[in-house]
Amino acid sequence: MRTFQKLGAMLFLLWLLLINVLYYAQFRELAVSRLPWLAHVWR
Amino acid sequence: MALAASAGCAALVLVIFLITAAFGNRVLEVAGLKADDPLNVVLFSSGVGFAILQLLLGIVGLAAGLTIRSVLALLVLLAIAGGRGWKSLFRLCRETARDLSGVFKSGVSKALGLVILFFLGLEGLLSTSPLTGSDAMHYHFTAPLLQIGRPEQPIFWLTHAFFIGLGHELIALGLVLGGDRLGLLLIFFGGCLTAVSLFPIARKWMPTERALAAALTFLMTPMVFWQISTAGSPDIWMGFYAVLAALAVGQAEGASTRRWLILASVYAGAGASIKYTGWVLPAVIILCALWITRSILWGAACSAAALATGVFPLLRNLLWTGDPFFPFLSRWMGRVAVNQFAWESIQADVHSHAFSAQPLHVLYFLAAITVRGADFGLGQYFGPAVLAFLPLLFFCNWRSRLVWAATALWVGMLLANALTTQMARFLLPAYPLALALALYGAAAASREGGAFVRFGCAATLALFGLFCLASDTLYAKDFLPVSVGLESKVAFLNRMAPDYQAATFVNSALTQRTGKALIFFRHSYYLRVPYEDGDPGESWMMNPAVLANPQSLLAFLKEQDIRWIVKSPEYPEQLANVFEECEKEGLFIPEEQTETETLTGSSRIYNMRMAVPITLMRVAN
């Protein structure tokens, strides 16, 4: 039971990571249009 | 001076709120509905009050016109009808203040309260800046501005004028009493009420600190920040009514409290009166009522209640066009000849560019709203919380009626959107409920799922909080100078309002001249001379199939008393030939010319500008 719980928690963390990465990645163009210096950091 | 004028408008909003809440309280007392918490009573009261106020404004607007006199008379009548409701309201406000002092006992709550105040203050300040929202300058504020002062008439040269719902009557109220600043402040107040009504829902599901965090997350979400401060769209009122409808269903736990279902239907109807897409609210609530009561009679009573508060804009459109959902049913009913170009333009306007009704695409849409938001009507501005915490909904208490009602409303709005428009922006009314449920799942999972889950949820929210702080303040930077009086209104509008320079040019050129102008730019709110929109995509009257030669065009211009053409910079493609032919034949005589600069591109946050030459031409006799 405990193993399943840990597995579920790990899967959920991976899901969160995926959503967060996909979510923030879509703002690159907007961020660079407002803060041009970001283009050097965020490629 | 700017701050003093804003404070005056804020005081007016407070007075309007007190009048509606006192009146709503009296209605609830008469109906024998008593909520379990003083804050809920205040919210339910103001919901009933605003629902009735907007309905009465709609009726008065159509029958006699909204003027200072008629609006003040209406408010005074409501204040008097509030009667004993005033006394109860002040008692409830005292009790709520006492309750809230308990809410902010802990250090975390105090800190959250301060951040909430910061965001509310920022949004409030932004909402006092002059109107610059694109859709607002096209129709949300323009149509009410054209209607006030006389009995409302159909405006066939502005396609979107038929989308005007009862939320726009609140904008009209603002325009009559205090101009666009008051109109925007009323929308901001609708956002405040939505955030406050989210709090008691969240408080039922999670500890106080987390409930405060839910309200804060709602307020700082970029979509909400934009919609309740500068956008000038009344959609947030639908969110307020949707949350109240869920709360009211949540109160109807026993057979003796079934009257709450009627109240929920009143809110659902009020939500439906804001725009066509809102009709999913009464549909869901009536299904809930049938499910709970297993009675056709209760279902019919709920339907009648929803119709009473929601049907007015449909009746008005039926009266004007023969199609209550004009133009969407005009293929089957109605007596207005629909211009194909305007129809296609409306279809493009209400569908995301990635729209597809394929079943797999609909499923893709549900996931992509958040992470591919640009394809689906700005869904990215809702933030990642709802999608990220979606798997945690299993941890919610599914025996609670409130959870079911909130989920049904959310899913109903989501599915209707997925099947019809796939425009995430239209999901604003569903967002408070979706967010509350997602955070409820996260709170329950954090309790039961161990340190990993707790860390993941906290990190996601903290990251989103930082993102909101950065993006909201960056967005606010352009508006704050005018709000606090450091920048003049004209300088601000020249910088931030699309087509403002064109409107100013037309105003100054035509002030001393008679006859209407035919314009081809979209944002006409600041025009103060008689005009009509000449874009066949925006006007039912500018039909390229009919206006196919100079003779028919001239006859149309004469019939409409249009004596001026404002070319900016070119004519719409479908009408270019006939207009250019008129120019060549000397039927349009150039009188004045200027070059303006306006915002361009998909959104003004990209700050893209272009020069637009404008020519004012006189139509030869």
Query: Using the beta-carbon criterion (under 8 Å), do B392 and A12 form an inter-chain contact?
Result: yes
- pTM of the prediction? 0.95
* Weakest-pLDDT range from A6-20, B23-37, B518-532, B597-611: B597-611
In the chain, the amino acid numbered B564 is W
Best mutation site among B371, B380, B477, B605 for testing chain A: the one with the most A CBs within 10 Å? B371
Q: In Å, how far is B113's CA from the nearest CA of chain A? A: 26
Q: Which residues from B are below 8 Å from A when comparing CB atoms? A: 370-374, 380, 383-384, 387-388, 391-392, 445, 449-450, 452-453, 456-457, 459-460, 463, 467, 474, 605-607
Q: In Å, how far is A29's CA from the nearest CA of chain B? A: 9
Please state whether the peptide bond connecting residue B569 to the residue before it is cis, i.e. omega within 30 degrees of 0.
yes
At how many degrees (to 10) do helices B359-371 and A2-25 cross? 80
Q: In Å, how far is B190's CA from the nearest CA of chain A? A: 28
Query: Using the beta-carbon criterion (under 8 Å), do B449 and A33 form an inter-chain contact?
Result: no
Q: Which residue of B has its CA nearest to A20?
A: B384
SS3 content of chain B, % helix, strand, coil (to 5): 70, 5, 25
d(CA B13, CA B292): 37
pLDDT of B550-581, one tens digit each? 999 999 999 999 999 999 888 999 999 999 99
For residue A28, which residues of chain B lie inside 8 Å, CB to CB?
Answer: none
d(CA B175, CA B178): 6
Q: Is A42 on the interface with B (CB under 8 A)?
A: no
pLDDT at B501: 93
- Facing residue for B374 by CB, picked from A19, A23, A26: A26
Please state whether the peptide bond connecting residue B327 to the residue before it is cis, i.e. omega within 30 degrees of 0.
yes
pLDDT at B605: 67
For residue B371, which residues of chain A lie inside 8 Å, CB to CB?
Answer: 19, 22-23, 26
Best mutation site among B452, B471, B599 for testing chain A: the one with the most A CBs within 10 Å? B452
pLDDT of B87-141, one tens digit each? 999 999 999 999 988 899 899 999 999 999 999 999 999 999 999 999 999 999 9
Please, are residues B244 and B267 in contact by the beta-carbon 8 Å criterion? yes
Q: In Å, how far is B281's CA from the nearest CA of chain A? A: 29
pLDDT of B469-520, one tens digit each? 999 999 999 999 999 999 999 999 999 999 999 999 999 999 888 899 999 9
Summarize the confidence of residues B265-282 as an average pLDDT. Answer: 97
pLDDT of B366-403, one tens digit each? 989 999 988 998 999 999 999 999 999 999 999 999 99
pLDDT of B127-143, one tens digit each? 999 999 999 999 999 99
Q: In Å, how far is A30's CA from the nearest CA of chain B? A: 7
State how far the alpha carbon of B75 is from the alpha carbons of A30, B10, B193, B274, B373, in Å: 45, 16, 20, 20, 41
d(CA B449, CA A15): 15
Whole-complex ipTM: 0.90
pLDDT at B611: 85
Among all chains, which residue has been given the structure tokens 């990993």?
Answer: B452
DSSP state of B551: H
pLDDT at B256: 64
Q: Is A38 on the interface with B (CB under 8 A)?
A: no
The Cα angle at residue B540 between residues B173 and B533, in degrees rounded to 5:
65
pLDDT at B602: 65
Summarize the confidence of residues B586-594 as an average pLDDT. Answer: 92
